[in-house]
Amino acid sequence: MDVHTLQTEVEQLTAALASFCGFRSVWRGPNGELVHSEPDDELEREGYRLLATLMRPDRDTVTAALIAGQPMRPRVELGWECDAAPAELVPAHA
């Protein structure tokens, strides 16, 4: 997923969820589409993957949910190398 697509999805989903008073479940469909539904709805059988259940989230919360729901390729496939020991790593947020 590219940044522009992510920004567009975040804006659209944040606006859509703002009009609901209760919790909504956010799903990624088999063709990559985003939908939201009542938390009791079970869409797994139809090929949807649950990303999060949220209540009137802000942009940061929606962004985190969408990013967390993205499939990651294995480290070996990416060819990443890292010689740093965990103690040497610096947190991204200070």
Instruction: Parse the chain into domains and list their residue ranges.
Output: 3-78
How many beta carbons lie within 10 A of that of residue 52, not counting itself? 18
pTM over 0.85: no
What whole-number distance in Å separates Cα of residue 70 and Cα of residue 3?
A: 13
| 33-66 per-position pLDDT tens digit | 999 999 999 999 999 999 999 999 999 999 999 9
What whole-number distance in Å separates Cα of residue 25 and Cα of residue 23?
A: 7
Q: Which two tokens stand for residue 92?
A: 């991204």
> What amino acid is encoded at 35 in this protein?
V
Average pLDDT, the chain: 81
